[in-house]
Amino acid sequence: MFEIGQEEIDAVTEVIKSGQFMRYRGGEGGFTETFEKELCSKFNTKHALIVNSGTSALICSLAAMGVGPGDEVIVPAYTWVASAMAVCAVGAVPILVDVDDTLTIDPEDIERKITPYTKAIIPVHMLNTPCDMDRIMQVAEKHSLLVLEDACQAVGITYKGKMLGTIGDMGTLSFNMYKNITCGEGGGILTDNEKYYKRALMYHDAGCFTREHASSIQEPFFPGVNYRVSEIQGAILGEQFKRLPKIIENLRERRKVIAEVFADCDKFKILKNNDESSAAAILIIYDKPVKVDSLIEVGGRHIYTNWDPLMNQSSFHKDMNPFKWAKREIIYTDDMCQKTLDLLARVKNIEIPYDMSLDEVKTYAEGICNE
């Protein structure tokens, strides 16, 4: 689901005509920088950095917070595999934990899986659904852990009035074409922490020590990679961002109509949402595993049991295998998050029919109920 049109075409045309494709060649005030400032202001966060993918945003954030070899990072068993692979990319190991009956990471299971080596938690706001951030932040504080929110699938969604991605120490967004707003491929990093922001800036841009803004950085420089975006992406995102409030409002409105119809349906229950008042997604749960063709399976590629390269603890080079650097033996088994598997067999995601009128949405919801 995404909206795109003449505004984006015009913005890209402007970039092409200007001949200025790189964000750090045109001086201050380019498209990417302008979008970052907009993002900070609308999301109420001190720093935003746009990078070339959501995965890059996760890797950059982990590097920025100093997560690395020997560290364990808690990740839900139900997510896009990139949440876990980003952990391996910085040399740490993902520790998988169950989701609860909201289909987001279970704060109780987080506590059970904390060890002396745990460094961070990655709560993932799947399918526009917020995690229980109050509980997660409490657990993190109690055990002195960092929190990196993966809001890649929930750009523009709020939890108790705060934008997802701005509650933890750092947060990430994705702008690939399956996400709420898109420029084809892209990602965003959000943080209030200046040190983390500066370190992310370095990591994403070959250490950034040759840039003009290097003089404003007090942190020690270290080598990085290249996760920069081009001004073409920045220009598209600037326009996409203007569409976001309407997109979220549309989802919320239609979600409400569907929830009202489903409230009277005895075939399934609506899954609890951690912030019912601003919910923009709807998932349902049956008593027993079911197969309903028209409904969207939420498992598949997003269940840990199907992440073969990770489950096999493989790496591109045997000496660069983070599982060798772990402080204890990490064992992955197919049944390690059984509760998640049981839930996923019974839960379906109801796609919010974005283009339907509210009357049509009602009929659509009744159809699902009578199926």
Ligand X SMILES: *Cc1c(COP(=O)(O)O)cnc(C)c1O
Report the catalytic residues: 179
Spatial contact of 75 and 111, defined as CB atoms under 8 Å apart = no
Cβ neighbors of 34 (< 8 A, separation 6 or more) are 234, 238
Near ligand X by CB under 6 A: residue from 82, 121, 164, 247:
82
Binding of ligand X at residue 150 (CB under 6 A)? Answer: yes
| Mask for 151-180, x = binds ligand X (CB under 6 A) | -xx--------------------x-x----
Stretch that binds ligand X, among 79-87, 232-240, 273-281, 356-364 (CB under 6 A): 79-87
Q: How far is the CB of 248 from ligand X (least distance, A)?
A: 17
Determine the 3-state secondary structure of 127 from DSSP.
helix
Query: What string of DSSP letters covers 37-56?
Result: HHHHHHHT-SEEEEES-HHH
Q: What is the dihedral of CA 222, 140, 284, 263, to 10 degrees?
A: -130
Please report, as residue ranges, which positions from 86 to 145 form the binding site for ligand X (by CB under 6 A).
Answer: 124
Please report, as residue ranges, which positions from 230 to 269 form the binding site for ligand X (by CB under 6 A).
Answer: none
Please report, as residue ranges, which positions from 287 to 316 form the binding site for ligand X (by CB under 6 A).
Answer: none
Rounded Cα–Cα distance for residues 3 and 155 (Å): 14
From the list 140, 157, 327, the residue with the least C-alpha distance to 251 is 157
Binding of ligand X at residue 187 (CB under 6 A)? Answer: yes
| The dihedral sign for the CA sequence 316, 114, 166, 224 | negative
The phi, psi pair for 187, rounded to 5°, reads -150, 165
Binding of ligand X at residue 149 (CB under 6 A)? Answer: no
Nearer to ligand X, 104 or 273 (CB): 104
Stretch that binds ligand X, among 29-37, 146-154, 281-289, 308-316 (CB under 6 A): 146-154
Nearer to ligand X, 79 or 274 (CB): 79
Spatial contact of 294 and 350, defined as CB atoms under 8 Å apart = no
Q: How far is the CB of 146 from ligand X (least distance, A)?
A: 17
Binding of ligand X at residue 191 (CB under 6 A)? Answer: no
Tokens at 273, concatenated:
């949402």
| Mask for 45-64, x = binds ligand X (CB under 6 A) | --------xxx---------
**Closest residue to ligand X in the complex (CB):** 54
| The dihedral sign for the CA sequence 215, 218, 221, 226 | negative
Q: Which residues bind ligand X (CB under 6 A)?
A: 53-55, 79-80, 82-83, 124, 150, 152-153, 174, 176, 187
